[in-house]
Amino acid sequence: MSTFVDDYPEESKIVQASLAVAFVALGIGAFFGLIQALHRTNVLRIFSSVDYYTLLTGHGVLLAIVFTIFFLVGLFTWAVTKSLDRPAPDIRLTWAWFGLMTTGATLVAVAILSGLFPSIPMSADVLYTFYAPLQAHPVFYIGLAMFIVGTWMAGADWFLAYREWRGENPGERIPLQTFMVLTTMIMWYIATLGVAVSVVVFLIPWSMGLVDSVNPLLTRTLFWYFGHPIVYFWLMPAYLLWYTVLPKLAGGRLFSDPLARVVFVLFLLLSTPVGIHHQYLDPGIAEGFKFIAMTNTMFLLLPSLLTAFTVVASMEHGARQRGGEGYLGWLGALPWRDPAFTGMALAGLMFAAGGFSGMVNAGMNINYLVHNTLWVPGHFHMTVGTAVALTMMAGTYWLLPQITGKKVYSRPIGLLQVVMWFVGMVFMSNAMHRGGLLGIPRRTAEPQYTNFDFVTAVGSIGEIRMQIALGGTLLFLSVVLFLFNVAATWADDRTETPVDDYLPEPLSGPSGSPVVLDNLALWTGIAIVLVVLAYTLPLASIIGDAGLFGSSGGFPATVTLDGLVRIIAGVMG
Ligand code: HAS
Ligand code: CU1
């Protein structure tokens, strides 16, 4: 029986190469994570507190940007090829974007790591959010720009494949996995415009000394315009696996294909006009704009709540097919020995908690309590650090046999590894959330502050620290086991065992659902209108207050109609 690697050997190479880069980044990034967890908690300090920020930048960039997005491009290449059942339109284009992304990521990593060596005149201690006033060496921004352009080309590759398919299949519904990839990429194109402008127009000229100053609030706002949708760019590959693979692993079928399409359309529409919820505490943005961002964010909960319903319903259907009974008794009938299933299910379970802490963040007034505290890293280690990362590791156990033709080296090690991740994260992120509520700051190597004691209602600061150190250690060990298992699989010889790569049809298929769901041009148009509505006034006001390049010193926090007219007149020349 043939599988993906036999049908599409060239595409398999790309998927394998993308995953390989992702896993190298995962290994290094996780190691930096261990160093930080032990440093912050004062358990073990092997680097100086000054180098902490270099390592923190490396940790964030390598894991949140390189690992996640390289996995994404590998997974999406597999998904588009498989669901359209046709090879890449031109494999040279495919290798070109892979090459560009890899070169860009390497430049970024070199710029960051050079910070550890005083003899090299290069550093990029700007954290993974890289907005001004922190400044990196130009190589960092140039690498970043290459990486992003590489993702744009990858998207073009998948759209070309879709266009060829459409030519031969007029009137047919877009296969679900391809639909997910295309909507995600449209969202990505819209979102990355913000960071592209920020990097190319402001940060690169500024880091090269071509302009003296930038408007920090403007680069921050452009960053967060992109910085929120990127979290869904990380999440959508996980959702693709939860919708199309997890139901099968559970022994059943996806509950509803149309509902899955609605969810991806909602993400396309709502992911971008919310970025200001990262800036509730920024002076210089009027409260009204923050309120609009909050309202949009609350609407954006809907697609994830729909996902919780659909995915759990599909799992329950699977469990009942396997003989599960009762209100909750069916849970026991799920295939808990399968690392791919268990990893994804635990990732989903933790996302329920991470989504809840996201709701807390999103409330404008409650945000004042948690912003810039350890609560926020607690939140994102549950979301990107578990919902996404654990799903990607679990998904690997399912994908690897298809793209290599080889059996996973050890399923028990896989199972141990995914459970260890979950347990480690329970310790670490729970303690981080609690620490944040006490006011322990994020992004500092010295969170203890002299002559100041954080007051705890339950437990103690020492206990919180120990949980973070223990959790961080378990997470690192889990990555070591994962990488070992993957490397051992790759190194094995291929045997003639059949690979189970069949994905069953959904219970409720796309045929009866409104055709408008597949109208990508319509959704793109609405998404752009929403972005224009949410961002025109705030950006005009920020530029009006302090100039495009931060020339004026003023910082009023409101925008008047009179002022707006002046700004628009100014922009029009
Ligand atoms: Fe967030 C900050 C709000 C989701 C990532 N977020 C961050 C940062 C990151 C991040 C990295 O409004 C920090 C950025 C920085 O460095 O400063 N976030 C939200 C909201 C959501 C949300 C409302 N975040 C995510 C996701 C992320 C992510 C997803 C990455 C992948 N976040 C915020 C806000 C801030 C923020 C503010 C700024 C904080 C500040 O002050 O700085 C929502 O999308 C969440 C919706 C989720 C749900 C959960 C649904 C449950 C599901 C589980 C189903 C169960 C299954 C398994 C499948 C409503 C889908 C069942 C298993 C069985 C066994 C039955
Ligand atoms: Cu966000």
Name the stretches of the chain with pLDDT < 70: 1, 551-564, 567, 571-573
CA–centroid distance, 423 to ligand 1, in Å, is: 19
The pLDDT of residue 561: 64
CA–centroid distance, 261 to ligand 1, in Å, is: 20
Nearest CA residue ID for atom 52, ligand 1: 308
Ligand 1 near 443 CB (within 6 A): no
Q: Catalytic residue, from 40, 228, 433, 434: name it.
A: 228
Name the residue among 3, 564, 5 with its Cα closest to residue 289: 564
Look up 449 and say whether it is catalytic: no
Return d(Cα 310, Cα 305) in angstroms, integer.
Answer: 9
Instruction: Read off the tokens for 196.
Output: 């592209």
The pLDDT of residue 173: 95
CATH of domain 335-512: 1.20.210.10
Look up 443 and say whether it is catalytic: yes
Look up 232 and say whether it is catalytic: yes
The pLDDT of residue 459: 87
| pLDDT tens digits, 194-245 | 999 999 999 999 999 999 999 999 999 999 999 999 999 999 999 999 999 9
The pLDDT of residue 555: 43
Look up 228 and say whether it is catalytic: yes
Ligand 1 near 379 CB (within 6 A): yes
Burial class, 164, CB count within 10 angstroms (exposed 0-12 / middle 13-18 / buried 19+): middle
Domain boundaries, the chain: 1-172, 335-512
The pLDDT of residue 560: 58
Ligand 1 near 184 CB (within 6 A): no
Return d(Cα 1, Cα 498) in angstroms, integer.
Answer: 6
Q: Are 557 and 285 in contact (CB under 8 A)?
A: yes
Name the residue among 425, 422, 413 with its Cα closest to residue 480: 413
Q: Are 436 and 534 in contact (CB under 8 A)?
A: no
CA–centroid distance, 232 to ligand 1, in Å, is: 9
Q: Catalytic residue, from 8, 130, 202, 232: name it.
A: 232
Ligand 1 near 271 CB (within 6 A): no
Q: Catalytic residue, from 442, 465, 476, 482: name it.
A: 442
The pLDDT of residue 504: 93
Instruction: Read off the tokens for 194.
Output: 């913000």
Look up 380 and say whether it is catalytic: yes
CA–centroid distance, 280 to ligand 2, in Å, is: 11
